[in-house]
Each structure stands twice: as C-alpha cells, then as structure tokens.
Amino acid sequence: MTEIPKIETAEDAARYIADRDLPFVKVGVFDVDGVMRGKYMARDKFLSSLEKGFGFCDVVLGWDSNDQLYDNVALTGWHTAYPDAEIRVVPSSMRLIPFEDDLPLFLGEFAGPHEAACPRSTLKRVLARAADQGFAVKSAVEFEFFLFEETPHSVREKRYKDLRNITPGFYGYSMLRSTVHADFYHELLGTARDMDFELEGLHTETGPGVLEAAIRVDDALAAADKAALFKTFTKVLAQQRGWMATFMAKWSRDWPGQSGHIHCSLTQDGKGVFHDPSKPHGISDIMRWWIGGQQALMPELLAMVACTVNSYTRLIPGFWAPTDATWGIENRTCALRAIPGSEKSQRVEYRIAAADINPYIALAAAIGSGLWGVENRIEPDPAIQGNSYEKKHAAKRQLPRTLWDAAQRLKASKPARALFGDAFVEHYAATREWEEREFRKAITDWEMERYFEII
C-alpha cells in the first residue's frame, strides 16, 4: 500500500517535492463537463506556481467534451483571443499515482475572472453558504459503469456498434463474475485506496459487464474531488488492460441507465442534524426542509445534474430512474430517497443523478437546493408510498424532458442565480444549449431506419 503523505500547505508540498528531488509533477483541473485536463509540469515551474498560481489556456472553459469551441459564451472565445486563465494549486489535493512511480498529482481550480465559472469553485461557494449558517455537509457518490473488451481504436472502427462487454448476462451481485475478474477488482480497489478516493463497496450490477462502486463518505468538497478522480482513473485502469469503461447515462436501449447517486447529510458542531428521534421516521425539521428545497428546485436545476443529451434517455418510467421531483422514505422509485438511521447515518439520496455528472456541479445543485430549502423552510409534498411511476404528480413537479428545456429553466431560475451566481448560470446554461445544438446536427440510426425508405 502506498502511504499517502500529509500535505496541507504550499510549504508542505514544496518540501515534499524538494526532499525527493522530483523533476516533474502532474497538475490537473476539471472542466465544465467533468473532464480532467492537465499536464506534466517541471519542478521549478511547479514550485513557483504553488505561491503564484500558473496560467492555463482558458479554452478549457470555452470548448465542449469533444474540444469543439462554444460560439455562445461571453467568458472566453475568439472575441477574447483565448488568454491564459489563472489556476490556483490546491496543495492538500496531492495524490501519488501508483503506476507512475508515485508521481505526485495536484488538483487546481480556476481563479480570477474565471473562478465564477469554475466547477470546483462553484461548489466551494455553496459550501461557504452552508458554513455561514453554521453547517457542514457530508457527501458520498456511488457510480455504475459498464466495462467493455474494446479500445479507443476499436470502438471507433466499429462505430460504437456490436461492442463486446467483459461479461455477458445479468449477474447482479455476482461472486462468480467478481472472482473471475478479481485482478481488476483488486487493482481498482487498491488504486482507489492509494489515491485517496477509497471505495466502501464494489460489486457487479444487473447487466453485461456493469459494476457499481460506492465511494467512502467525506466532507462534500473532498467527496467531489474523489468522485471526479474515481471516474478518471477507472477509465485509465480499464484502458491500461485493453478495456474501456463508460459512464454514459445510458449506452444501450436494452439495458437500464447508469446511476451516479449522491448521498448528503448536514452537520452542526460535528453532530448530524437530520435525525430527530421525536419525529416520524426520525426526520428532523431541517431534514424535511432540505428535502423540500431539493424537491422544489429540482426542475429548475436539472441541467446541472442531467447534463448531457444522453441523460434524458435514462429518465423514463420503469428503468430505476425517477421522472418527476418526488420523494419517499426508502423508496427507490422517487427522485429523493430519505434514508432513516442514526444521528450519523441518516441522509438523503439524490437519485436523479446519472453516472455522467460533473460531481462538482451536481453536488452544488443537490446541496444548494437543500440549503435553500432550510433557509426558506420549504415544506415538501407528502412522501410517496408505493410505486411513484404509477402515480400522477403535480405539474410543478414534472422535470424538463430535454437538455434544452432544462437549460431554459436554469437561466430563468432566481434561486439558481442567488446560489451559484449570474456568471455561472449564464455560462453553464449556454454550454448546455450548445450541447443540444450539436446533437441536432446528428442523423441517428433510428431516423435512418425509420425514414430512409418509407417517407
């Protein structure tokens, strides 16, 4: 097991690098889509950057996940000539990459004018709002992801058709499958432990080659870091062995989508405030208002959680994904699942999220809406009992059905602007509009099969 050094300050990081005479380190930032962008940096440059920050072309906030330039954002573009953005190094984020001879990896975050659109900084602003009220937030994310016996070359040569999963059949919670591929499970578990995004559970889900990983709970900002790093390095480990991992919300019409559920609880002075044994199901007033805020704002903030065109193919009845802003006690057909427990374990699961989330932005939405509910003492609807899919819900609880509609709801949301800032809402909503416009250029297989001959 690689020992994770205790790094808190810039001085700690500089001392660690100097003591080991390391010629290079790695630095990375997460963009709007949750894609990690970074580079190797020479020691002298990095040591200077610890104090002063460093410049990184701001195109990483001005292009999509396919490196195509947005034409509808004000923050950056040809009109600003794509200058360098200031990046602030986060010394305490240091990890050692075990398969690069324990090379240090540091996270950065955008500073200066670009901080307003930075995913990590947006979450930090929400958490500062919580701190101003005397609260801290604990969070954990769990991801489902499919694994394929494919490479980046082979999937393109096949045009993403007839892909071979690492295993066939359903096989949920399979001891057979996990034991046959134990070497990969151990490698993933070990890397997660060594790089400080430790898993508390890893198992097969129902479907060919699909796994579910539950990341251990932590303070919300650290939980977002861990979730984002988990997605990145799971893909790395898979590709190193000639496999590929996908975190798409839904890659096949034949199988359920892939979730990225978010668990949150609120603490005050180190004690959980969601639990009140004198109340039904132990749900305190604060927890009830938190649920009320998440329910009320979910339709307005959905673009921050269901962030791709593909996200909306998952939000259909009967596929373990909610379709309206509903909540229930231990009810997995609802968008919000209240989980009763002890003072330490009672929490709310934000089940609308899929595996394609940007963890920083999705957590900002889940936590921000909960805080807004507490601040305004928002009462939720009565808890849903039974199958939520079979019930008719109020029109105000209906979720947007497309990414474009979700972006319009976000732009028009006064609470969103108060929680995340006008600059973030304008920039982020524009990026989602771009994503939908790019999709409109595509001619799908469904259209060809449906219209080519008969129309």
Q: Which of 56, 80, 114 is the last residue of a domain?
A: 114
CA distance linking residue 148 with residue 239, whole number of Å: 10
Q: Would 281 be classed as within a structural domain? A: yes
Q: Looking at the structure, do residues 206 and 343 belong to the same domain, yes or no?
A: yes
For residues 139 and 106, state if they share a domain.
no
377: left (phi over 0), alpha (psi -120 to 50) or beta: left
pLDDT at position 322:
85
Residue 47 belongs to domain with CATH number: 3.10.20.70
Same domain for 78 and 170?
no
Q: Write down the pLDDT at residue 2.
A: 61
The reply to whether 384 and 348 lie within a common domain is yes
pLDDT at residue 30, rounded to an integer = 98
Reduced to 3 states (helix: H, G, I; strand: E, B; else coil), residue 210 is strand
Q: Are residues 183 and 293 in the same domain?
A: yes
Q: Is residue 378 part of a domain?
A: yes
Q: Is residue 223 part of a domain?
A: yes
Q: How many structural domains are present in the chain?
A: 2
Q: Is residue 99 part of a domain?
A: yes
Give the phi and the psi of residue 329 in degrees, each rounded to 5.
-85, 115
Q: Are residues 199 and 86 in the same domain?
A: no
Tokens matching residue 113:
């004018």
30 and 142 share one domain? no
**Are residue 358 and residue 317 in the same domain, yes or no?**
yes
Q: What are phi and psi of 36, to 5 degrees?
A: -80, 125
Here the CATH number for the domain that contains residue 353 is 3.30.590.10
For residue 393, what are its two tokens? 């819900």
pLDDT for res 92: 97
- Tell me: do 323 and 369 sit in the same domain: yes
* Residue 323 included in any domain: yes
Give the chain's residues under pLDDT 70: 1-2, 318-320
Q: Is 175 found in the same domain as 63?
A: no
Range of the domain at 81: 10-114
Is residue 290 located within the same domain as residue 362? Answer: yes
In-domain check, residue 445: no
Enter the pTM of the model.
0.97
Task: Write down the pLDDT at residue 317.
Answer: 74
Within a domain: 430: no
pLDDT of residue 1: 58
Using one digit for the tens of pLDDT, what is the confidence trace for 70-103? 999 999 999 999 999 999 999 999 999 999 999 9
In a domain, 51, yes or no: yes
Domain boundary among 114, 142, 160: 114
* Proportion of the chain in helix, strand, coil states, percent, rounded to 5: 40, 20, 35
Do 107 and 215 sit in the same domain of this protein?
Answer: no
- The torsion region of residue 242 among left (phi > 0), alpha (psi -120 to 50) and beta comes to left
